[in-house]
Amino acid sequence: MRNWPYTQGLHDLGNTVYAYLQPGGSWGWSNAGIIVDGEASLLVDTLYDLQLTRTMLTAMRRSLPAAAQIDMLVNTHANGDHCYGNQLVENAQIIASKRTAEEMQEVPPELMATLMQQAPFLGKIGAFAQRIYGPFDFENITLTPPTQTFEGQLDLRVGNKSVQLLEVGPAHSQGDTLVYVPADRVIFTGDILFMESHPIVWAGPVSNWIRACETILALDVATIVPGHGPITDKQGVANLKSYFTYLLDEVRLRYTAGMSASEAARDIPLDAYANWSDQERIAVNVASIYRELSGEQEALSTLSLFALMADYMDQTTS
């Protein structure tokens, strides 16, 4: 694998495919990308707020003439750090999976702005929200949804380049999509792949996420751009698959033993994953696996999941 630098900004992956990276990849600091051929271009994701997205688009337009008028924008999923900047990509066809389009309506930017305004009055949940979302500005964002949706797979052309959209959710979110450029052996994974940090299972089931990793591993890819963290190769995907396999096995033991989800999260040794950041997410991941094992269909509310993470932080750092 080429040793790609993990630095802020635009990275040339070869043959006019580019990644846009935002170190260090924690909450809200997502990656994006652009695929170019001739005068045609496809943007993969926008960023969490308008200023971050403006900075990214300026960098792309400065370096890539085709980025002056982006033809297509693909949102890999509904989380705001991958779609809240959509309004700045004017006149582009916005494409996402049908599930992603539906899920975008559930957490509009106005809701995030209200959460941050109320955070000082929400105790430890508010303090947690301020810590992870404080760097971002959710004001004046207009939710700009997809203009085209698909289910399963959608084949696109960017100039003469073939681009495949592969829906692999629900996993991280309800409608996760991979953006695959076969001729260049490049894939943008959205948040199906986190590098050097714990992933978070907002939707699940985890078994679907493991299958999504297997889908990537079966493709002819050499360069993999994760939703968060440094550029990687198939070993990075294999590492994340191993994380979920380990977690599933460890959680199943504790579920069978009658532990609560929060007890299990604190009891599971992090072992090989102890150096990964955002360890509080394991509380959400364990709760999601408990739901999968029990057959429970209704997911916990976002505030309940935040409370689980805040409690985990309190009890593991005290």
C-alpha 57/C-alpha 89 separation (Å) is 8
Q: Which residues contact 35 (CB under 8 A, 6 or more apart)?
A: 16, 17, 18, 41, 42, 44, 158, 161, 163, 179, 181
Which of 76, 67, 80, 78 minimizes the C-alpha distance to 34? 67
pLDDT tens track for 94-116: 999 999 999 999 999 999 999 99
Q: Which domain holds residue 273?
A: 9-317
Calpha distance 170→236 (Å, rounded): 21
pLDDT class of 155 with cuts at 50, 70, 90 = very high
Q: Compute the average pLDDT of residues 283-293.
A: 96
pLDDT tens digits, 169-202? 999 999 999 999 999 999 999 999 999 999 999 9
CA atoms within 13 A on the CB side of 297: 0
The answer on pLDDT for 1 being more than 70 is no
Q: What is the pTM of this model?
A: 0.97
Q: What is the pLDDT of residue 303?
A: 85
pLDDT of residue 66: 81
Percent of the chain with pLDDT strictly greater than 70: 99
Helix (H) or strand (E) holding 280: none
Average pLDDT of the residues of the chain: 95
Q: How confident is the model at residue 33, as a pLDDT?
A: 98
pLDDT tens digits, residue range 50-59? 999 999 999 9
- CATH no. for residue 209? 3.60.15.10
Residues 69-91 have a mean pLDDT of 97
- Asked if residue 255 has pLDDT above 80, the reply is yes
Tens-digit pLDDT profile for residues 198-208: 999 999 999 99
Sign of CA dihedral 198, 230, 224, 135: positive
> For residue 67, is pLDDT > 70?
yes
- Owner of token pair 């072992």: 271
Whether 150 is in a domain gets the answer: yes
Q: Is residue 3 part of a domain?
A: no
Answer yes or no: is 2 within a domain: no
- Residue 17 belongs to some domain of the structure: yes
**317 band by pLDDT with thresholds 50, 70 and 90:** low
Asked whether residue 270 is assigned to any structural domain, the reply reads yes
pLDDT at residue 318 in the model = 54
Structural domain contains residue 69: yes
Q: What is the mean pLDDT of residues 129-140?
A: 96
The answer to whether residue 4 is domain-embedded is: no
Distance CA(240)–CA(225), nearest Å, equals 14
Residue 256's pLDDT band, with cuts at 50, 70 and 90, is very high
Residue 115 in domain: yes
Pairwise CA distance, residues 45 & 2, whole Å: 24
- Name the band, by pLDDT with cuts 50, 70 and 90, for residue 300: confident
Mean pLDDT along residues 56-85: 95
What is the average pLDDT across 206-235?
98
Number of domains forming the structure of the chain: 1
